[in-house]
Amino acid sequence: MGYVAIQGGEEAINEAINLLDVLRTNDQNNDPLSAQTIENQLHFLHSRVLSEGGLYHPELASLAIKQSAGDILEAAFYLRAYRSTKPRLGETPVHHGENLRLIRRISAAFKEIPGEQMLGPTSDYLQRLFRFNLLNESPEEFRNIAQSWLKNIPDEALPTTFPKVLESLRTEGLLPPVINKPTLPFDITREPLIFPVSRSAALATMARAETGSILAIAYSNMRGYGDVHPTVAELRVGYLPVMLPHPITGDLQEVGEVLMTECEIVAMYNSKDKDSLPTFGLGYGACFGHNEVKAIAMAILDRALQKGQNQGIENPSEDPEFVLLHIDGVQSMGFASHYKMPHYVTFQSDLDRLRTTQQKQTKPTEEKINR
């Protein structure tokens, strides 16, 4: 039996692409979504695309969501493809999380922290019950929510940055001292991952990892396939000022800001050095956008990978090769999607081998019957 490709060729492909636009625009009763509407009203979806795309461009992230009809992995793919076409014009100096202009800041380790807890925008304290009134929300009600809340904001200036919670632990000697190594961070966009990898390469890979993938592997560690039992020392969400040197004077100038989520966890850690005092181990996570689950999962895996490097790999979540090669959503999607492409030749070969094997097995049986 012969196998042939489906008829249609380029015309069929073009019509399939056109049907995507038909699917996207099939709602005739409403106006098209604007980039600003997507950014503001689909806040967390927008943040995931920024993070997994690895390019901070809010407008293009909105366009990617719109063009992909809400497919997060496809949207992240668009951002990465666009980034690959752009030249690199410069590099920023090292930026520090304590400079975040905070909209949310909490600690699970201490009730009282310098600057106090800042709950900010979150669904952590809500019951997961439908608010059915949102189905028929009027434009007036929609606009009045933010306007009425902003009326109550005091006019006096409020601090937007606060000291890090971990500094108090480090002062007490409960955390290892910071070691400033004059090494350049690993650039995962220009260099391939060759194991063993540096910590900066692992962090960079996790920073643009797919949220569900990194959460699943971190969850395996939390459930028992690992021994990292973390405490969130500090979780921060805010806008980080981006500084670049002035082309003439060389002085650092603020050129913009990026929305980021940063998480620092502490966990028990047994040092190899028997002469040193035991300290907490530190795990770090940071990503573009407002994505707290991803930042926490990243910090847990950072701690797990350090444990595997220092004490030996005992679980999958402690193996850098297993973790880092299975958390990239765009790569995973591409591998799974390629199976939809034509595999006529290879499948025909499988069919031939299977038929030949069956014939070889049935021939001795037929000869016995004939005897």
The model's pTM = 0.91
> What are the CA-CA distances from residue 19 to residues 16, 44, 66, 67, 313 (Å)?
5, 28, 15, 12, 49
Q: Kindly give the residue spans of alpha helices, DSSP state H, lying in the chain.
A: 9-24, 35-41, 43-53, 58-67, 72-83, 139-151, 166-171, 199-207, 211-223, 292-311, 320-324, 329-337, 344-370
Count Cβ atoms below 10 Å from residue 141 Cβ, excluding itself: 11
Q: Are 327 and 205 in contact, with CB atoms under 8 Å apart?
A: yes
Tokens of 57: 């461009």
DSSP state of 371: -
Compute CA 194 distance to the chain's CA centroid, rounded to the nearest angstrom. Answer: 21
- CB proximity list for 297: less than 8 A, separation 6 or greater: 211, 214, 215, 217, 218, 219, 285
Q: Cα-Cα-Cα-Cα dihedral of 185, 186, 187, 188, to 10°?
A: -140
Q: Tens place of pLDDT for every residue, the chain, 371 residues?
A: 343 444 557 888 889 889 999 998 888 888 899 999 999 999 999 999 999 999 999 999 999 999 999 999 999 999 999 999 999 888 899 999 999 999 999 999 999 998 889 999 999 999 999 999 999 999 888 888 888 887 777 766 666 778 889 988 888 888 888 777 777 889 999 999 999 999 999 999 999 999 999 999 999 999 989 888 899 999 999 999 999 999 899 899 999 999 999 999 998 765 556 667 888 889 999 999 999 999 999 999 999 999 999 889 999 999 999 999 999 999 999 999 989 888 888 999 999 999 999 998 887 766 666 66
Radius of gyration (Cα) for the chain, nearest Å? 26
Long-range CB pairs of 315-321 (<8 Å, 24+ gap) are 315/220, 315/221, 315/225, 315/226, 316/217, 316/220, 316/225, 317/217, 317/218, 317/220, 317/221, 317/225, 317/226, 318/221, 318/226, 320/195, 320/196, 320/197, 320/202, 321/195
CA distance 312 to 38: 45
